[in-house]
A and B are shown apart, each in its own frame.
Chain A
Amino acid sequence: GAVVSQHPSRVICKSGTSVKIECRSLDFQATTMFWYRQFPKKSLMLMATSNEGSKATYEQGVEKDKFLINHASLTLSTLTVTSAHPEDSSFYICSARLFDEMAVGGEQFFGPGTRLTVL
């Protein structure tokens, strides 16, 4: 299957700093990538849909100025958590969908996740 990488895998930062997380599709082009947040023993909550060359679409309740998403190429999307606070500590996972304009339902491949801890 397709491979999605995510970097860093783990990050610890001080409150008030910004953290950038990268999501890359390694062997395919992904016009659409998704960013999820997962709390311990909970389900994946979609934060935003990242579209190459256009603005991200955020889910209700997700602050777009706090979670900045950039999808500058067909293989890279970044999530920047700005002015991070302890409540932003979580497991952030990205996924990428295979490029297929005719897809009825596109398989998503997940990155390994980034564990963010804000002190």
Chain B
Amino acid sequence: GENVEQHPSTLSVQEGDSAVIKCTYSDSASNYFPWYKQELGKRPQLIIDIRSNVGEKKDQRIAVTLNKTAKHFSLHITETQPEDSAVYFCAASPPVTGGGNKLTFGTGTQLKVEL
């Protein structure tokens, strides 16, 4: 099955700096890569996703890049703000015809944005 590794496990940045979180996946058939933000005790919230037919996607301060050859994908947050502090999870999903798409999650990155 799919295996997703995520680094770093913790990340501290100064407000206004950029933050980068990296993930690798093992199943070359995976074609959907979402990123979730989870605040303590809350549900994961989708912040951005990318499909395997594109290499980069951007939404305001958040961008995701995908390298299918290397099986890497990364989350980039620019101009970080204190409210960006949370745990971020990457995930990967292979196609499953007719049924659902199982997400395999990375281990999470605790991002702390310091004033």
Known: A43-B89, A44-B44, A113-B43. A106 touches B100 (CB 8 A): yes
Question: CB within 8 A of B43: which of A46, A93, A103, A106?
Answer: A93
**How many whole Å from B3's CB to the nearest CB in chain A?**
12
- Chain A residues closer than 8 Å to B36, beta-carbon distance: 110
Contact of A42 with B108 in the complex, beta carbons under 8 Å: yes
Q: Does B107 contact A (CB under 8 A)?
A: yes
Q: Across the interface, do B99 and A110 meet the contact criterion of CB distance under 8 Å?
A: no
Chain B contacts with A in 35-64, Cβ cutoff 8 A: 36, 41-46, 49, 51
Closest to B106 in A: A43
A46 proximity list for chain B (CB < 8 A): 102-104
Q: Describe B's contact surface by its main secondary structure.
A: loop
Q: Per a CB cutoff under 8 Å, which of A1, A34, A49, A105 touches B31?
A: A105
Please name all residues of chain B whose beta carbon is closer than 8 Å to the beta carbon of A63 when the two chains form the complex. none
Are B101 and A105 closer than 8 Å at their CB atoms? yes
Contact of B34 among A1, A107, A115 (CB under 8 A): A107
In the assembly, what is the distance between CA of A17 and CA of B35, in Å? Answer: 36
**Bound-state Cα–Cα, A42 to B87, Å:** 10
Q: Which of these, B46, B89, B93, B99, contacts A105 with CB under 8 Å?
A: B93
Query: A8 interface residue, CB < 8 Å from B?
Result: no
Tell me, in angstroms, the Cα distance from A27 to B106 when the chains sit together.
Answer: 29
CB–CB B49/A107 < 8 A = yes
With beta carbons under 8 angstroms apart, the residue of B98, B103, B107 that contacts A108 is B103
Q: Which positions in B face A, CB cutoff 8 Å?
A: 31-32, 34, 36, 41-46, 49, 51, 89, 93, 95, 98-108, 110
B-contacting residues of A (Cβ < 8 Å)? 1, 31-32, 34, 41-46, 49, 51, 93, 95, 97, 101, 103-113, 115
